[in-house]
Amino acid sequence: MDSTHYEICIVGAGIVGLSTAYFLAKSGLKVVVLDKDSIGSHASGFAYGGLSPLGEAGDPETILPVFDLAQLGMKKHLEFSSDIPELSGIDYDFRFRPAIDLVFNDEELTEAKQQIKWRQQVENYKVEFIDRKSALEIVPNLNNEIIGATYTEGVCDVEPYKLVLALTQSCEKLGVEILNKEITGIQIENHLATSASTKHEKIYFEKLVLCMGPWSGNISNWLGVNVPIRPLKGQILRLKSESVQLNASVGYLHNYAVTKPDGLIWAGTTEEDIGFEDSPTPYGRNSVLGSLTHMIQGLDEAELVYQTACLRPLSKDGKVILGPAPQTENVFLGTGAGRKGILLGPGIAKITADLVMNKQPEIDISAFSVARFS
Ligand SMILES: Cc1cc2nc3c(=O)[nH]c(=O)nc-3n(C[C@H](O)[C@H](O)[C@H](O)COP(=O)(O)OP(=O)(O)OC[C@H]3O[C@@H](n4cnc5c(N)ncnc54)[C@H](O)[C@@H]3O)c2cc1C
């Protein structure tokens, strides 16, 4: 094979694409990963980095369909945490730390208790309701108007940007080529994709994996299959505080905050359905500061040191799109992980790598087929 002919071509070097490349290269395949932008410059590099298969606030019905995938994602993250730092030489701050989800009133208490019931059935986690006093003992700066909190052990976090760099290094050490190129189209002959075009060249492959995050809607034009993915913008603040230390990830509704190993409080987030605009804005800053100061007291002296914004890939029904592309036998899709892509990414990748290598995936993926939109 020449330098522009690969066994596997992966488009998108986010967590899904890089993890897929990692699994395939570990099995000895010749892989190229193409990305239009710098490594880690989108959501995979600028997420909060929480790994919690038990979900944030929400009801079991919306969480459970992806629960197996979330568990697989967590399993792969645990394997990554022992393999990737050594292979890459990059410590990406993987750590276990508890989560505390705040409860302010009786309605939220009823909801929390329902959540706790099913979460307590899941192995490897400790989940319980704790009263206000116990919650304040764990995180003294919590809003003291809470009536209690859900306390969870067994959940983790990572520094996403460092994780993406570590995956990149690991892939390259396993022989993966990672190239800065934008794919603008795919050539198909007799139901098989044969090459992908950039502005100046064609890249030939045996199999193609498309992990293009919020840009995955472009696949619809290339393959003639409806891939309804849109961007959902989110913003995060990093603050320096001498007096407040959050040694658990504090959550309320869709917001969260924790002190990361870099010593900064990371706090998010927004959900902005406004297209491909991804700059940090005053709206994002005020919105996140508002939710943060509702959860945590004593931040008056905190200094804002960094504000980031990025785009989640969100499918029309909110669920992942994963599996072979209908009618194009050698093309595989992995996208739509929304708010949970750092957690789900390695799980989506493991399944994709198995499919590419004609192996049976570890879990049932029929609910994730893109054919549900046709
Ligand atoms: C504020 C915020 C906080 C988050 N926090 C968490 C969290 O705590 N836990 C969690 O699990 N998830 C979290 N997420 C979600 C998570 O970040 C995303 O779901 C995940 O990063 C998506 O990964 P991806 O690989 O699918 O896409 P991306 O990271 O977007 O990667 C896709 C890549 O494809 C490339 N690409 C697209 N089109 C082309 C093309 N035509 N040619 C070449 N390259 C192309 C892009 O340049 C991009 O690099 C958060 C997201 C946001 C916005």
Say which CATH number the domain at 39 has: 3.50.50.60
Strands 202-210, 192-197: pairing is: antiparallel
Position 55 scores a pLDDT of 73
- Residue 109: inside a domain: yes
- Residue 179: inside a domain: yes
Position 66 scores a pLDDT of 81
Q: Is the pLDDT of residue 2 over 60?
A: no
- Residue 168: inside a domain: yes
Position 267 scores a pLDDT of 98
- Residue 63: inside a domain: no
Position 1 scores a pLDDT of 43
Is the distance from CB of 183 to CB of 11 less than 8 angstroms? Answer: yes
Give the mutation target among 159, 168, 312, 340 for probing the ligand 1 site: most ligand atoms within 8 A of CB.
312
Nearest to 235 by CA among 178, 292, 298, 175: 292
Verify whether ligand 1 is closer than 6 Å to residue 203 (CB atom).
no
Domain encompassing residue 222? 5-49+161-228+317-373
* SS3 state of residue 93: coil
Verify whether ligand 1 is closer than 6 Å to residue 49 (CB atom).
yes
Verify whether ligand 1 is closer than 6 Å to residue 72 (CB atom).
no
Indicate if 235 and 302 belong to the same structural domain: yes
What is the Å distance from ligand 1's center to 192 Cα?
A: 27
- Residue 300: inside a domain: yes
Position 64 scores a pLDDT of 56
Indicate if 140 and 263 belong to the same structural domain: yes
Indicate if 241 and 150 belong to the same structural domain: yes
Average pLDDT, integer, range 203-217 = 98
For the stretch 139-179, pLDDT in tens is 999 999 999 999 999 999 999 999 999 999 999 999 999 99
Residue type, 190: N
Verify whether ligand 1 is closer than 6 Å to residue 6 (CB atom).
no
Give the mutation target among 39, 167, 212 for probing the ligand 1 site: most ligand atoms within 8 A of CB.
212
- Residue 76: inside a domain: no
Verify whether ligand 1 is closer than 6 Å to residue 342 (CB atom).
yes
Residue 342 CA to residue 350 CA, distance in Å, equals 13
Verify whether ligand 1 is closer than 6 Å to residue 223 (CB atom).
no
Give the mutation target among 16, 18, 48 for probing the ligand 1 site: most ligand atoms within 8 A of CB.
48
What is the Å distance from ligand 1's center to 257 Cα?
A: 20
Nearest to 276 by CA among 328, 322, 229: 229
Position 196 scores a pLDDT of 97
pTM (predicted TM-score): 0.97
- Residue 302: inside a domain: yes
Verify whether ligand 1 is closer than 6 Å to residue 313 (CB atom).
yes
Residue nearest to atom 12 of ligand 1 (CA): 340
- Determine what percent of the chain is predicted with pLDDT higher than 70: 97
Indicate if 310 and 321 belong to the same structural domain: no
Indicate if 322 and 305 belong to the same structural domain: no
Number of domains in the chain: 2
For the stretch 8-58, pLDDT in tens is 999 999 999 999 999 999 999 999 999 999 999 999 999 999 999 987 544
Residue type, 59: D
Average pLDDT, the chain: 95
For the stretch 302-352, pLDDT in tens is 999 999 999 999 999 999 999 999 999 899 999 999 999 999 999 999 999
Position 11 scores a pLDDT of 98
Verify whether ligand 1 is closer than 6 Å to residue 159 (CB atom).
no
Indicate if 145 and 240 belong to the same structural domain: yes
Give the mutation target among 195, 292, 342 for probing the ligand 1 site: most ligand atoms within 8 A of CB.
342
Strands 331-335, 255-259: pairing is: unpaired
What is the Å distance from ligand 1's center to 46 Cα?
A: 8
Position 5 scores a pLDDT of 86
Position 57 scores a pLDDT of 43
Is the distance from CB of 343 to CB of 49 less than 8 angstroms? Answer: no
Residue 364 CA to residue 144 CA, distance in Å, equals 44
- Residue 329: inside a domain: yes
Indicate if 287 and 342 belong to the same structural domain: no
Locus of tokens 């706790």: 116
Indicate if 152 and 28 belong to the same structural domain: no
